[in-house]
Amino acid sequence: MNRMIPVTAIITAIALLTSGFMKQNGPELGKPASALASTSVAGESGTGDSFAVRMQLYDKLSKVTNVEWYWIAAVDQYERSISKARPKARPLLGQTVGVFVEPERWAGALNPYTEDNSPVSIRWFGGIGQDGDGNGSAERTSDFDLLYSLIRFMSSYGINEERFPIGIWEYYHNSRAAQRVTQFASLYRHYGRLDLFEHAFPLPIGNSYSYRDTWGDRRGWGGRRIHEGTDIFAGYGTPVRSTCYGVIEVKGWNKYGGWRIGIRDLNNHYHYYAHLSGFDKTIAIGDIVKPGQVVGRVGSSGYGKPGTSGKFPPHLHYGVYSDRGLIEWAFDPYPMLRRWEQAERKQLRSKG
Ligand SMILES: [Zn+2]
């Protein structure tokens, strides 16, 4: 859609389309949205119960919007990841969904009543808030209304694989956000489930590597002034494995990182593996990987033009960055590495 068209005109058009649609589909939504949220979401990745509750919600939304469930799940998960990274700016509004919408955006920028929940006046003021569950009010604290409003806005640009991403871009006006949602959707689509938060240690478990907490050290072969990551020392050619379910976001040469690979997971964390001697040949940007899957080999590449190697001992530089919407923050991966290593050790022992 032409971006020169005022937002209010677009909203009015969407509202007109959806009001007719809701009349046809209203009876399907007898159950109020709050009844869906019988289980609260615990922890970062959620419990089995909370995944089931979410999936139920996405299926219902998919039925009324004709948007594939994995797009709906991806939008919700992107919103959740940004809310988790910025909890003060984006307090949780619903019970199950991770969506946050500013009151002004929900009710309309010029709406004098920022807590407005009347679909008619919200539409008049160009707000995005809509009544998804058919109870007559567009509630900014209703799981169903929240996610429904975002999906309605985005799907007004089309619902197929080419058009829906345009709507995502129009909502966020941020290409990183659009890329994330598309990555998440491809993961959900590929696996057909929401429970994709298992982790693995980046090297095969054993005694052939060593690492310690080097967070913030002054020296570092990672390409930053302060060391942002953990160096795991191991021999040339040791397999390097994905630590998560994720999408290959970056692959290639970087002056400091050498041959490096970047993987995005559903927590919106970017896992960075640097100084590799090579990549797994089958892996390309956009591919989906799972925890423990080999993506490359340990090396000592970096600190020069493509192919430079041997300026420091072979090791894997592993860093994790959290996406906060417009910027990314590195955080210390050491405690997670210890946890994943112990969990895998335990698993291996129990297998005998
Ligand atoms: Zn390093």
- Cα(283)–Cα(277) distance, integer angstroms: 15
Band of residue 5 on the pLDDT scale cut at 50, 70, 90: very low
Backbone angles phi, psi at 289, to 5 degrees: -125, 160
pLDDT above 70 for 9:
no
Residue 2 has a pLDDT of 39
- Cα(196)–Cα(184) distance, integer angstroms: 11
pLDDT above 60 for 240:
yes
- Cα(159)–Cα(166) distance, integer angstroms: 10
Strand pairing class (288-289; 246-254): antiparallel
Read off the pLDDT of residues 291-308 as tens digits, 9 standing for 90 and up. 999 999 999 999 999 999
Token pair, residue 145, equals 């209304």
Spacing, Cα 207 to ligand 1 middle (Å) = 20
Tell me the mean pLDDT in the region 195-206: 96
Spacing, Cα 246 to ligand 1 middle (Å) = 22
pLDDT above 90 for 63:
yes
Spacing, Cα 253 to ligand 1 middle (Å) = 16
| Residue in 79, 96, 77 with CA at minimum distance from that of residue 87 | 79
Residue 326 has a pLDDT of 83
- Cα(53)–Cα(302) distance, integer angstroms: 46
Spacing, Cα 178 to ligand 1 middle (Å) = 30
> Where would I find the beta strands (DSSP E) of 149-268?
209-211, 230-234, 239-241, 246-254, 258-264
Spacing, Cα 199 to ligand 1 middle (Å) = 21
Burial of residue 346 (number of CB atoms within 10 Å: 0-12, 13-18, 19+): exposed
Question: How many residues does this entry show for the chain?
Answer: 352
Task: Using a CB cutoff of 5 Å, list residues around ligand 1, an ion.
Answer: 220, 222, 229, 231, 317
Read off the pLDDT of residues 36-48 as tens digits, 9 standing for 90 and up. 333 333 345 567 7
Spacing, Cα 210 to ligand 1 middle (Å) = 13
Tell me the mean pLDDT in the region 276-290: 97
Spacing, Cα 311 to ligand 1 middle (Å) = 13
Token pair, residue 69, equals 């469930």
Spacing, Cα 230 to ligand 1 middle (Å) = 6
SS3 172: helix
Spacing, Cα 224 to ligand 1 middle (Å) = 9
Spacing, Cα 345 to ligand 1 middle (Å) = 24
Spacing, Cα 275 to ligand 1 middle (Å) = 9
Domains plus CATH for the chain? 7-191 (no CATH), 209-351 (2.70.70.10)
Tell me the mean pLDDT in the region 339-343: 96
The better pLDDT of the pair 224, 142 is held by 142
Q: DSSP state, 257?
A: T
Spacing, Cα 239 to ligand 1 middle (Å) = 17
Question: Do 62 and 72 meet the contact criterion of CB atoms below 8 Å apart?
Answer: yes
Spacing, Cα 222 to ligand 1 middle (Å) = 4
Q: DSSP state, 27?
A: G
Spacing, Cα 315 to ligand 1 middle (Å) = 8
Spacing, Cα 219 to ligand 1 middle (Å) = 9
Spacing, Cα 329 to ligand 1 middle (Å) = 16
Spacing, Cα 295 to ligand 1 middle (Å) = 18
Site of tokens 């594939």: 68
Paired strand residues for 298:
276
Read off the pLDDT of residues 10-38 as tens digits, 9 standing for 90 and up. 333 333 333 333 333 333 233 333 333 33
The proportion of the chain whose per-residue pLDDT surpasses 70, expressed as a percent, equals 84
Spacing, Cα 47 to ligand 1 middle (Å) = 34
Burial of residue 46 (number of CB atoms within 10 Å: 0-12, 13-18, 19+): buried
Read off the pLDDT of residues 252-276 as tens digits, 9 standing for 90 and up. 999 999 999 999 999 999 999 999 9
Backbone angles phi, psi at 61, to 5 degrees: -65, -35
Spacing, Cα 223 to ligand 1 middle (Å) = 8
Spacing, Cα 77 to ligand 1 middle (Å) = 30
Residue 215 has a pLDDT of 84
- Cα(113)–Cα(137) distance, integer angstroms: 14
The proportion of the chain whose per-residue pLDDT surpasses 90, expressed as a percent, equals 78
Spacing, Cα 229 to ligand 1 middle (Å) = 6
